[in-house]
Amino acid sequence: MPTYQFEAMNAQGEEVKDEIEALSSEEALAKIRNLGYFPTKIKEKGARRARAKAGPRATTARKSPRRTRGRVSVKNLTQFTRQMSILQDAGLPILRSLRILEQQQKKGTTLRAVAGAVADDVEAGSTLSEAMARYPRTFNTLYSSMIAAGEAGGVLDLILSRLAEFMEKSQRLKSKVISAMVYPVFVMTISFGIVMGLMVYIVPKFKDVFSDMDTKLPAPTQFLLNTSEWLLKKYGIVYVIVTPIALLILLRIIRFFKKGRYVVDFISMQLPVLGKILSRTSVSRFSRTLGTLISAGVPILEALNITRDTAGNEVFRKVLGEVHDSIRKGESFSEPLRKSKMCDALVVNMFDVGEETGDLDKMLVKIADNYDEEIDNRVAALVSMMEPALVIMLGGICGFIVVALYMPMIELIKKFGSG
């Protein structure tokens, strides 16, 4: 009977390392949990030595991953995962499935190269999760961990299906947010171009007309002429173009540091309207990630570590770290969330119910689905508010320019009329 080495946490949060005999890794996990432990790592004893006997080709493949250029788009990776799931469900061997998917990719693409490299590693004796983990730019920690859980439980086809569904929903939400912001960005760009055109080409011509008038210009007109002169002769237009770029670069530099990312994420979530959307997006993301990992059979502590590393928000990353420490100490899941005040009371209560009923994974997915729908509604409401606001803003700016240009003429007409 195979022997499995494992690392786990006991009820007191202490680390335990031991061995256990079982017919499969799934049975080993069940036995470990029956002992009252929370498994964090498990592997078959002697598995590495068995793979080492595969020869120098296997050793070389593991030591030197094939170099690949570029990144794989989420859309292509999602399609790859879905197709892999279908092939596994049909009963095809992993290696043959990988070769089929490799041939389906366009020549010269990164995904084709990575699929071929993973297939070579599997043929050399590596597991699918080990081979994928060697290409983190394509298969992140979440991806390779779920594949490892599927291999351990003998349900790789089901895990691939869940992973594809997870990626599809995440991509769908991202696409909705991006598509909703296209129109406002387009209107703002056009508005900026119209205003710059008026200030650079139209306003200077009126300056020559006003210079022939022996009258004091109104304050709005003088302000408009001064602004136009600043844009043209004092490199103002350079400042207008460079300032947003400089701010973006500064923001990237700030986000390079952990504390900087925390401050930026915290401030972003405090913004009116937009902050709620960003906060709920983060909750939806970590809920779906954690729920998918737990349902895949990944141990809770390991699932929390993966979710924390892929949260995409430093504030929630800190909260998930506190949740991890709480569970290690044998405390509840929801208490750190309640103390952080980053989640609504409804979400915290749903976590409580999930813990009590033992259906935490299902409850997490329900939270994500509920928040995804709410995010859609909030984004739609934000866009509906932005459209008239942008029109009013553009109309106000253009109206100010027109009025400021014609005010001297009106004053001149009044002067001649009274005379």
More confident residue, 183 or 101: 101
Q: For residue 415, what are its two tokens?
A: 């002067």
Mean pLDDT on 52-64: 42
State yes or no: pLDDT of 283 exceeds 70: yes
CA distance from start to end of the chain: 113
pLDDT band per the 50, 70, 90 thresholds, residue 52:
very low
Q: Which of 164, 170, 146, 148 is nearest to 86 (CA)?
A: 164
What's the pLDDT score for residue 39?
66
| pTM across the whole model | 0.64
Q: For residue 106, what are its two tokens?
A: 């366009």
Residues in the chain: 419
Q: For residue 250, what are its two tokens?
A: 């500064």
State yes or no: pLDDT of 178 exceeds 80: no
pLDDT band per the 50, 70, 90 thresholds, residue 280:
confident
According to the per-residue pLDDT averaged within each range, which of 61-65, 199-203, 309-313 is highest? Answer: 199-203
pLDDT tens digits, residue range 9-23?
A: 666 556 778 888 887
Q: Report the distance separating Cα 86 and Cα 161, nearest Å.
A: 8
Identify whether the C-beta of residue 367 lies closer than 8 Å to the C-beta of residue 287.
yes
State yes or no: pLDDT of 135 exceeds 80: yes
State yes or no: pLDDT of 59 exceeds 60: no
CA 259 vs. chain centroid, Å, equals 19
State yes or no: pLDDT of 133 exceeds 90: no
Identify whether the C-beta of residue 78 lies closer than 8 Å to the C-beta of residue 71.
no
Q: Count other Cβ atoms within 10 Å, centred on residue 294.
A: 22
Q: Which of 297, 384, 259 is nearest to 42 (CA)?
A: 297
Q: Report the distance separating Cα 35 and Cα 47, nearest Å.
A: 24
pLDDT band per the 50, 70, 90 thresholds, residue 91:
confident
Q: Report the distance separating Cα 419 and Cα 415, nearest Å.
A: 6
Q: For residue 143, what are its two tokens?
A: 């991806």
Q: For residue 378, what are its two tokens?
A: 């909030």
3-state DSSP percent of the chain in helix, strand and coil, to 5: 75, 5, 20
Q: For residue 335, what are its two tokens?
A: 């208490």
Q: Which of 7, 22, 45, 372 is nearest to 176 (CA)?
A: 372
State yes or no: pLDDT of 227 exceeds 70: yes
Q: Report the distance separating Cα 99 and Cα 103, nearest Å.
A: 6
Count of CA atoms in the C-beta half-sphere (13 A) of 411: 15
Q: Report the distance separating Cα 263 and Cα 267, nearest Å.
A: 6
- At 264, the amino acid letter reads V
**Which of these ranges, 33-37, 51-55, 395-399, has the smallest mean pLDDT?**
51-55
What's the pLDDT score for residue 13?
58
User: Which contiguous run of DSSP H or E holds residue 346?
Assistant: helix 345-357
Domain boundaries, the chain: 274-374
Helices 94-104 & 110-123 angle (0-180, nearest 10): 160
Q: What is the dihedral of CA 49, 50, 53, 59, to 10 degrees?
A: -70
Residue linked to tokens 């598995």: 47
pLDDT tens digits, residue range 229-279?
A: 888 877 788 888 898 899 999 988 988 888 888 898 889 888 887 788 888
Tell me which fold the domain 274-374 belongs to: Receptor-associated Protein (1.20.81)
**Local structure of residue 109 (DSSP, 8 states):** -
pLDDT tens digits, residue range 362-390?
A: 888 888 888 888 888 888 888 788 778 88
pLDDT band per the 50, 70, 90 thresholds, residue 419:
low
Q: For residue 285, what are its two tokens?
A: 């993301």
Q: Which of 139, 160, 122 is nearest to 77 (CA)?
A: 139
- At 31, the amino acid letter reads K
Identify whether the C-beta of residue 147 lies closer than 8 Å to the C-beta of residue 128.
yes
- At 48, the amino acid letter reads R
Identify whether the C-beta of residue 28 lies closer than 8 Å to the C-beta of residue 22.
yes
